[in-house]
Chains A and B, each alone.
Chain A
Amino acid sequence: MTPLVPLAGTAGCEAAACVLFGAIDLADNGILVLDRGGLVVCWNAWMVRHTGLSAEQVAGRALPELFGPALSARVMAAVRNCLDHSRSHILSPSLNRQPFPLTMPGEFAERGEGIDQSVTLKPVPGVAGARFCLIQITDVSQATRRERFLRRQTTELSRAVEDLQAAKDLATRANIAKSEFLTDMSHELRSPLNAIIGFSQLLEMDQAGPLSDEQHEFVTYIHKAGDHLLKMITDILDLSKIEAKRLTLEIGEIEVDRFIHDAIKGVGGLSHTRGIAIEYAAGERPDLSIRADRTRLAQILMNLLANAIKYNRANGRVTVGVAVPLPGWVRIAVADTGPGIPLERQGELFQSFNRLGAEFGAIEGAGLGLALSRKLAELMGGAIGFRSRPGEGSTFWIDMPSAASAAAVADEPGEEESGTALPALPPLTLLYIEDNPVDLRLVEALFQAIATVRLVTARNGEEGVRLAWEQRPDIILMDIFLPGFNGFEVLARLRADPQTRTTPVVAISASALPADVARGLGAGFHKWLSKPLDIVELLTVLANLVKNCRPAPAPPPAGL
């Protein structure tokens, strides 16, 4: 061994050796020394604790003798290399987990897991050519346990991430399937609604002979329920389109004053029925205009107005106001005099299908309006907010970015003729191509009562084209999904023939998807009406087509 230097406070080498051995005993590692022959000459207290063998028991004995076959062969190979060739060695815990059979003190060897070790062997020259092998053993059980735990956690975590990804993919696919299903359903539901709404409109107009007051009332219920169902279908479809990110917007400038004025007119019927007055100082801010999609913004405002009317008190009041809450923004606010929303339920307000206490009441709705409105407003870069105090009423508002310049607002031309009075039609021949017998019957019933209109009908595209050439109708109405030639093919044939090239053709389809409408108008249909048919709209379209496309020489005869 290295000659010991006398230490301060000790008397010579012997005392110094005592201090050193004391230090070796104190170490929190196993330390043992083998002589040139591989026999134990030093064995510290840690080794005693972890082997149960005292220094006296091990002195002068070789390691295989002490540990038997439980001692790793690699330890002995390293010991020999150290003593014979002066090589230092390291035995790492991952490659040799437990080179020495050691246990924690107090643990039964057969029960204990043993100690994971990191072992180093170092040759130490002695005097007169002697050589020793110094072995140090470090307990790394904690580190290996920690690493095993970490490995398990990481593996589980990455498996969980994979599972989540799979679940997300599944949900995405399911959501797309749901959207497609809703789109299909909306189309399928529109067809029967065409019969319900169409015929109830005819009955309301007394087209099939006068009804009793009670019959009239019942028919009105059927009509309203049909309208309500249609609105819900449209809302559900809109929501699913927003979720599937398939809703396209046409952002343009909108003159606020006129826009509000039109929206109020749109809910005029409802406010009249409910006896709610709508107050709006029209023309107050003629200078303000905003950027939004006109149709979608109208949808939001009409929804807020309808809510304000429906959730109002008897003889209540709705006040519409315009303000500039921040530079660059315009706020349209709708205040009611209703009961207000309880504080604890205000958080649920914008959730789909949430009707806040109206679930079992007389107020109709599916609870989609506000959820849809918020999503639409956000899509257009705006926001919806509200303030409500129970007993005092609620105020809802839309904030939209203002348009750069209020001037030069090219407002859409007014929706031509509109109103509740049925427009009069000059004498004309109509061809209606439709395979659905109920839809056909509806239009036949409508024009039975209009003496000026001669209606010719065809059940398929081929017959339609033939009749168009034979009868020379003034206007052609046409379904799109026809047996044989579809609506687009029929249109192409009509356009290819000089006799029918300029005849206005109106599509009447159960599809109301903007893409279909755009495709139809692009193909050359003059108008695209969606089922369920609004009879007033149909008559208005016909009247406008007659006026615009064929300068009517004859004075309009008496209408209906």
Chain B
Amino acid sequence: MSPVWASVFGVGAATIVLKATGPVLLGRRELPSWLAGPVSLLAPAVLAAFVVTQALGGHREIVADARLVGLGAGAIAVALRAPILAVVVVAAAATALTRLLT
């Protein structure tokens, strides 16, 4: 098999398994109590990790660039209780503008 198709099948199979693990093994019932506690905190922990990696992540380096301007503008929009769509548009526009000007 060519490296391309080996990658497609390998990555596809692995991703299907990773996504299905929780719903297939633990679906249809409440989470066991020892798991439910930490899982209730998973959303803030993972979302914070998303923000950090999306705004500062590079290939094994922390990169501070125009994304931070956009995130800052987005943060102001969040603080002003703007709707999500506005937050996203403001962040994209501020970043695009910064990239255009620098």
A and B interact:
no
Task: Give residues in B with beta carbon < 8 Å to A.
Answer: none
